[in-house]
Structure 1
C-alpha cells in the first residue's frame, strides 16, 4: 500500500499510534521466528513488557489466524479476523474484554492496528498486489530479539533465586542440627534457643515465595549464627570452658604412662610392627563404643601449638575442629596410612580425636617406623576404652619446652 495510516477508525489517537511504523532494518531480526516460541518467550518476560496472562491469551488467538508458523520473511504479517471470530477462538470471551486486552497489546507496542477507511478488516488483492487491513504482527516480530533477551534475564534471575533458596534451606538445616548438638555438649546456653528459634522461623518463611533480597537477608543472618555456633562448639571460644578439662589431661599425663614417648615398641621396629594385621575391634573382644559426637576436651589451640609441623604440609586455616579434620585427611596419604586404618580410627576414636592422633604422629613421624600400624594399635586401645589423645599432646608440648 502506498500509504500507512496511523490513526484508528473512530477512536482517539494516542502515543502508541504515533510510534515509528517503519522500523530501521537493523532492528529487524532478518530471519523467520517461530511464532509459538516467540509467544513462550514473551510469556516468560511478560512483566518487562507490561502485559498480563489474559493479554497474551488474546495475542495467542490472533497468532492462530496467521497461516504460517514462522513470522518474518517477505510475508505480510497482517491478520484480519472479525471481533466475533476472535471471541470464538478465545472460547467465548466477551467482546468488550477482548477489545480491552487488544488495546493493552497495542499500547505495549506488540501489535499495530491497520484500520481501513470504514473500519472493517479485510484483504484486497489485485494481481500481485495485496492490501490487508487488520492487526499487524510485525512489531512483535521486530522485537523478537528484545523479547528473547528479556526472557533470558528472567531465567537467570529465577536461577539465582533458586540457588540462593537452596543455600538458605541447607543453612537452616545445619543451624537446627547445631542447636541440638550444642544443647547436648553444653546444655543451658541461650545461644541454642536462639539458633532453634531462627531455624524454625526460617523454615516457616521458606514456605512463601521469597525475593532475592529477602533470601540474601536470611543468608546473612544464618551465616552469622552458624559462625557463632561453630566458635562456641569447636572454635577458640571453647578454650576457656575447657581449661579444667585440659588440667585434668595434664594430670592424667603425669600419672599415666601411655604417652607417645613411653611406647617405644610401637615406634621402633620389632614384633610390635606387626600390629597392623590385628583387628582392633574384633567381635569377641569387649568393645566399649566411643561417644563419637563429643568434641575433644583438649583445646584446639593446644593441639596446634604442639604440632607446628602441620603448617609445613597444610597451608589452610585451622580455626575449628572440622578444619583440623580436613588437614588430617590431607596429610594422611603422605604418611602412608591406609584408608581402612584411617576409617577404623575415626570409628573408634571419633573424627576429632583421630585427627589429633594423626597430626601428633606427623610431629614424631621420623620416630615411627610404621605409621599405619601405630595408628591401628592406638585404635585398638581406643576401642577398649584405654586411650586418650591428651597425653600425646602434652608429651609433645613437654618435648618442645625441654628443647
Structure 2
C-alpha cells in the first residue's frame, strides 16, 4: 500500500509547525493562478510578513526554477527534487551549509514542505508509462495555497513603503525650506538664529539613518514645528524692520507712493531715498521658491500647471512681461543687472501690485537702475508682499 511520509528524515524532530504545514497538501488552491515568477515577485514584496530574508528568497527562486512549467499549477505535481550540489549551482554557488540553513528557514515559514525519501535523498521514481510516479524533495504547493495571503501582504507592504517614502519627502522638503529661510534670516535680520540652526542640524543628522514609520512621523512633526518657528521668527523681525531699520527705506520707495508713479523720470527723482546696498545683486536669491509663489499668488492665473523650479519662474516672468506693458529691452536690462532669477522675482512682484503701479515699465527700469548701483534686492519686496497676503488671510 502506498504511503507518503509526513515526518522528516534523520535527526530532525517533528514539530507543530511541520504538522500544520502538512494540512496544506490537501488545501484547495485558487482557481486563477499567476505564473510562478509573479508569485516570487509578490513574496519578495511581502517577505517581512513571512519572516524570510532576501537570501532565503534567492534559494526559493532557485527551487522554483526547477519546476518545468510557467505555472506551478501545471504539470505532474509541485515537487522539485534537485540535489544540494545542483541547487547550489543554480543559487550562484552558494555554500551547501548556507543552502541548508536557508532551506530550513523556508520550511519553517511554511512556504515549502519537505517530502523526504526513505534514505533522505531527493529523486523521482517513474512508472511504467515513463511519467513521474513518486517524487521526493520540496513541495511548492504552499505557494499556491497561500497565494491570497501573499498577495494581501504584498499590497500592504507596498502601501507601507509608499507612506514611508511620502513621510521622508515631507521631512526633506520642510528641512530644505527651513534651511533656506534661516540663511535668508541670518543675512536680512538681526535676530538670533542659532537655536533654529541647531535644531535643523540635529534633524538632518537623524534623517541620515534608516528610520521606521513611527520615527519618521515624529521627525515629520519636529520638522513641521521647526519650519513654523522659523516663519514666526522671520515674521516678527520683518515687523521690527517695518518700524525703522534700513531695509524699510527700500520698501517705502517701492510701495508707499505707488499711485504717484507715472513715468520713468518721476521714479528717478525718488531714488534719492537712502538705501542699504546689497553686496552682489546678481547672486542667487536666498528666498525659497515656494515663498515667492506664496507672496505672488496672481501669477498662478497665468501658469495653471504650477511652477516647480527657478527656470520655470523665469519663463513665467517672460510670459507675463508683455501683458504688463514692459518692453523686451527693459526686461533684458533687468536680467543683466539683477540676474535672471532676481529679475523674475521682481517681475512677478510687479505683477502682484500691477493695479497700484501706473507704469510697470518705468518702475522696472527704476529698480534696474538701483540694481546696477548695487542698491536693490527683491527680498524685501517679497517679504512686504507676503506680509500683505498674511494680513488678507487673517
Q: CA deviation at 1:13?
A: 1.3
Cα distance between partner residues in 1 of 2:42 and 2:259: 73
Q: Highest Rg: 1 or 2?
A: 1
Partner of 1:311: none
> CA deviation digits over 1:146-180, x for unaligned, max 9?
32332333333223323332332232222222112
SS in 2 for 1:338: helix
1:138, 1:111 → 2: CA distance? 7
Identify if the C-alpha distance between structure 1 residues 321 and 144 changes in structure 2 by more than 3 Å, giving closer, same or farther.
closer
Which residue pairs with 1:8 in the alignment? 8
In the TM superposition, what is the alpha-carbon distance from 1:131 to its structure 2 partner?
Answer: 2.2
What residue is the counterpart of 1:136 in the other structure? 139
Once the two structures are superposed, residues 59-104 of structure 1 have per-residue CA deviations (whole angstroms, 9 ceiling, x without a partner) of 2332233222321135311122334443454456554443332222
Find the residue that maps to 1:208 and give its secondary structure. Answer: coil
Shift of residue 110 of structure 1? 0.6
Describe how 1:233-382 pairs up with structure 2 within 5 A: 233=234, 235=235, 238-244=238-244, 259=257, 266=262, 323-327=294-298, 338-339=323-324, 341=326, 347=343, 350=346, 354=350, 357-358=353-354, 361=356, 374-382=359-367
Matched residue, 2:56:
55
Q: Secondary structure at the match of 1:173?
A: helix
203 and 63 in structure 1: CA distance in 2 versus 1, 3 angstrom threshold: same
Q: 1:180-213 CA distances to partner (integer Å, 9 max, x unpaired)?
A: 21111113x22x2223333333333333323333
Give the Å deviation of 1:293. 11
Q: Is the 8 Å Cα contact of residues 349 and 382 (structure 1) preserved in structure 2?
A: no
Q: Deviation of residue 109 (structure 1)?
A: 0.7
Q: Could you report, residue by residue, the CA deviation over 1:328-364 in whole angstroms, capped at 9, with x for unpaired residues?
A: 76599xx9981564995984994796367436x2xxx
Return the TM-score normalized by structure 1.
0.63
Q: Cα deviations across residues 8-46 of structure 1 (Å, max 9, x unaligned)?
A: 234321112222134543xx2334533333223323322
Could you tell me whether the CA contact under 8 Å between 1:202 and 1:218 is conserved in 2?
A: yes
SS of 2:14 mapped into structure 1 = coil
- Structure 1 residues 290 and 375 mapped into 2: Cα distance closer, same or farther (>3 Å)? farther
Equivalent residues of 1:349, 1:379 under 8 A apart: no
- For residue 133 of structure 1, report the CA deviation from its aligned partner: 2.3
Aligned to 2:210: 209
**Distance in 2 between residues matched to 1:123 and 1:54, nearest whole Å:** 27
- Cα contact 1:348–1:382 (8 A) shared by 2: no
Alignment TM-score, normalising by the size of structure 2: 0.64
- What is the distance in 1 between the residues matched to 2:38 and 2:344? 61
Pairing partner for 2:148 from 145, 148, 157:
145
Name the counterpart of 2:79. 78
CA distance, structure 2, for counterparts of residue 34 and residue 154 of structure 1: 21
Counterpart CA distance in 2 for 1:55 and 1:262 is 78
Conserved? CA contact 2:34–2:71, under 8 Å: yes
Q: 1:116 corresponds to which residue?
A: 117
Pairwise CA distance, 1:108: 0.6
CA deviations 1:212-249 (Å, max 9, x no partner) are 3333322222222222222333x366334522369x87
Is contact 2:24–2:141 with CA below 8 Å preserved after alignment?
A: no
Gaps of 5+ in 1: 267-271, 282-287, 295-319, 362-370, 394-403
Taking only aligned residues, the RMSD between alpha carbons, in angstroms, comes to: 4.6
How far apart are residue 7 of structure 1 and its match?
Answer: 2.0
Rounded to whole Å, the distance in 1 between the matches of 2:152 and 2:238 is: 53
